[in-house]
Amino acid sequence: MADITINIQNPDNTITSLVAPTDMGLSLMEFLKGNEYDILATCGGMALCATCHVEVITGYDNLHEISNDEGAMLDTLPNITNTSRLSCQLKLNDSMDGITVKIMGDGLS
């Protein structure tokens, strides 16, 4: 497995590109937190809090399907989009190379 590129759309709409390892079993949430992005991850990656909510700007169709638990949690959010995902539920893998995400949080704060 090789490293992949994850693009983050910042609040000012600029894009930051980061190289992410696919061989460590990290979730997108863990990777973003490790790069000091402001993600609360209150539940620790169990799909119970939605504080790691991201909007997938490009590459959404490359991701695995949303689980029932993830879908139920996303449905509670006021700022859900058609391409919303919980970053804790997205394990870094080759199919994610080049995706662009925007950190949304739970939309409640």
Beta bridge partners of 8: 16, 101
Q: What is the pTM of this model?
A: 0.93
> Over 90: is that where the pLDDT of 97 sits?
yes
Q: List the single range of 14-18, 48-52, 83-87, 99-103 with lowest mean pLDDT.
A: 48-52
pLDDT at residue 109, rounded to an integer:
57
Domains and CATH numbers, the chain: 4-103 (3.10.20.30)
- Does the structure show a pLDDT above 60 at 31? yes
pLDDT band at 30 (very low <50, low <70, confident <90, very high): very high
Q: In 82-100, which positions are buried (b, 16+ CB within 10 angstroms) versus exposed (e)?
A: ebbbbbbbbebeeebbebb
Question: Can you give the C-alpha Rg of the chain in angstroms?
Answer: 13
- Give the separation between CA 82 and CA 78, rounded to whole angstroms: 13
